[in-house]
Amino acid sequence: MRGKTVRDQGMGRWATRRALLEPDHLALYSKYMRLTYGEFESRTNQIADALYREGVRHGDRVAMLMLNSVEFMEVLFGCAKLGAIAVPMNFRLTAAEVAFLLADSGAGLLVVSERLDPVAAEAISMEGVRVRRRWVVGGTEGLSDGASPYEELVAGGSDEVRDEAVREDDIAVIMYTSGTTGRPKGAMLSHGNMTWNAINMLGRAPGISYRDRTVTAAPMFHIGGLGVFTLPLFYVGGANYIEEVFLPSETLTHMASEKATGMFLVPAMWAALTQVPEFESYDLSELRFGVSGGAPCPITVIEFMQERGVTFQEGFGMTETAPLVSVLAAEDLPAKAGSIGRVAMHVDARIVDEQDRDMPAGLVGELVLQGPNIFKGYWGLPAASAEAFRNGWFHTGDLGRMDAEGFITLVDRKKDLIITGGENVYPIEVEQVLFRHPQIADVAVIGAPDERWGETVVAVVVPKPGESPTERDVIEYARGRIAHFKAPSRVEFVSELPRNATGKILKRDLRLKFSGRAESLGR
């Protein structure tokens, strides 16, 4: 590289630099594949060249319907080296939902895991989809029409570094939001967004280094699974064991056997780990810290992990922020329990009113953000992008307050706020109280129309196995711990709560089922 102008300023250069610095250091591995940084560099060069030979150019979209895998990272970095845009998709979607994302992104090529190919084949045949070819990771026999083996794609490219001009501001990934309130929107994340997110992770205690190891079990099509540890750890030269899908006992087994030093999971996954029999028998002595994010973590889960010696942190981030916004450090517990902590090194935050005026410390308003990790807007949605970036700040849609020390506490999503009799009720507050009920395993709180009060508070409860709490039990429990207007006036019992692939409760579905409307009341 001496004497040559480096034109690639994107994520693809991470791999090239790591291969130069630590070619023999283990980078990514799974039960199917094991790659050093040098090997990863060669294979991603091949993929970039092969994609170019397939007609992919700077700014073109390559869709990925893939389980967690080393190949997922290969495609991501192969696209990055070419200046193409990777489009990861939720592998739990139906064919119609996949077709929407393919059509919306305008992807011309699709890489798909073998197990998911039937869904992909059906989606490609639907109206508006422009995919001309798909490459299948896994088996090489019995592929349906139009599909080719992924390793054939890799073999067709040169392992020489391509001389592509990729800028930090170029879009690296279109990552679709979870769509809990409607059709998903494609958040455009740049190469620079990903780099600055990695830097933000380095700047938060206890930090990460090339000595760290993690197990990626959260889905990588989601920004949490990709952006909390997987990409930042690659950036610093660490080792990453990748699990196809999350299975609680297997994840614990691999956390122990691979000596994981840091771990990210969404709250529902952490909660599932706590239910694994003989949890204490798994050797997690190397685990320096665990991070929860994607949704509020039940306080009972945090306490469980802390009682067993795990340094536990709760982070806050969004698809649109690549994702890190803030972390509540372990040393700030229990004094700041319930807070999402202070913002990361290169993130600015404010709490504002409806006119975007700063709110005094301790008062509730909307959280707005600025920083080099903030996305570039929503793909193909200029009006939604402009609304999100009013007055130069990204409006998160989260309600919260900031204390005099800079600690932020979120009280709920604006869309989930319940107004009953003129009083604001934040579902998170009610849910955290009910999580402590000895007979409740899971709970979600929603608002339902009420002729007298405008809205009434409804708790949707999953009882613990073998338990049968009554509506009166739940209501009285809440009234003994929070103001009566905040306590539920109605309780619905279900066997499980609807969640998306990243563990977020689909409150839209609950509102539709128990109140007859999908959306919250207009504010």
Residue 523 has pLDDT above 50, yes or no: no
209 within some domain:
yes
Higher pLDDT, 303 or 395: 395
Q: Are residues 402 and 444 in the same domain?
A: no
Taking all residues of the chain, what is their mean pLDDT, rounded to a whole number?
90
Q: Are residues 206 and 300 in the same domain?
A: yes
Select from 176, 197, 217 the last residue of a domain.
176
Helices 267-274 and 248-257 sit at what angle, rounded to 10 degrees?
80
Residue 335 has pLDDT above 50, yes or no: yes
Distance CA 107, CA 132 (A): 9
Q: What is the pLDDT of residues 211-223, one digit of tens each?
A: 999 999 999 999 9
Q: Are residues 260 and 297 in the same domain?
A: yes
Question: In which element (H, E) is residue 398 found?
Answer: strand 394-402
Sheet of strand 147-149: strand arrangement: 147-149, 133-137, 109-113, 61-65, 85-88, 171-176, 186-190
152's tokens: 């054939």
pLDDT at 281: 94
Q: Are residues 356 and 470 in the same domain?
A: no
Q: Are residues 409 and 431 in the same domain?
A: no
Distance CA 234, CA 27 (A): 7
Q: Are residues 204 and 102 in the same domain?
A: no
Report which of 168, 144, 292, 279 is spatially closest to residue 218, judged by C-alpha positions. 292
Query: pTM of the entire structure?
Result: 0.84
283 phi and psi, to 5 degrees? Answer: -80, 100
Q: What is the pLDDT of residues 60-75, one digit of tens each?
A: 999 999 999 999 999 9
Q: How many CB atoms lie within 10 A of CB 116?
A: 21
Distance CA 84, CA 343 (A): 31
pLDDT at 520: 56
Q: What is the pLDDT of residues 97-129, one digit of tens each?
A: 899 999 999 999 999 999 999 999 999 999 999
Q: What is the pLDDT of residues 221-232, one digit of tens each?
A: 999 999 999 999
Q: Of the ranges 19-28, 91-100, 387-396, which one carries the lowest mean pLDDT score?
A: 91-100
Residue 502 has pLDDT above 70, yes or no: no
pLDDT at 165: 93
Q: What is the CATH number of the domain that holds 432?
A: 3.30.300.30
Contact in structure between 85 and 57 (CB atoms under 8 Å): no
Q: Are residues 316 and 406 in the same domain?
A: yes
pLDDT at 522: 40
Q: Of the ranges 112-121, 199-208, 274-283, 367-376, which one carries the lowest mean pLDDT score?
A: 199-208
Q: What is the pLDDT of residues 159-182, one digit of tens each?
A: 998 889 999 999 999 999 865 445
* Residue 145, domain extent: 12-176
Backbone conformation region of residue 466, classed left if phi is above 0, alpha if psi is from -120 to 50, else beta: left
Distance CA 2, CA 192 (A): 24
Per the structure, the count of domains in the chain is: 3
Distance CA 141, CA 146 (A): 13
Q: How many CB atoms lie within 10 A of CB 480?
A: 10
State the DSSP code for 21.
Answer: H
352 phi and psi, to 5 degrees? Answer: -125, 160
263 within some domain:
yes
3-state SS record for 418-432:
EEECCEEECHHHHHH
Percent of the chain with pLDDT over 90: 69
CA 39 to the chain's CA centroid = 28
Q: Are residues 378 and 459 in the same domain?
A: no
Residue 1 has pLDDT above 50, yes or no: no
Contact in structure between 497 and 442 (CB atoms under 8 Å): yes
CA 204 to the chain's CA centroid = 18
Higher pLDDT, 207 or 63: 63
Reported confidence tier of residue 205, pLDDT bands at 50, 70, 90 = low
Select from 176, 204, 220 the last residue of a domain.
176
- Give the mean model confidence (pLDDT) for residues 252-256: 97
For 463, the 3-state DSSP assignment is strand
Total residue length of the chain: 523
120 within some domain:
yes
Q: What is the CATH number of the domain that holds 321?
A: 3.40.50.12780
Distance CA 318, CA 378 (A): 14
pLDDT at 101: 95
Report which of 402, 373, 319, 425 is spatially closest to residue 201, judged by C-alpha positions. 373
Contact in structure between 52 and 81 (CB atoms under 8 Å): no
User: Cis ω on the peptide bond leading into residue 323 (within 30° of 0)?
Assistant: yes
Question: In which element (H, E) is residue 155 found?
Answer: helix 150-155
List Cα–Cα distances, 401 to 88, 257, 361, 365, in angstroms.
33, 41, 7, 6
- Start-to-end Cα distance in the chain: 57
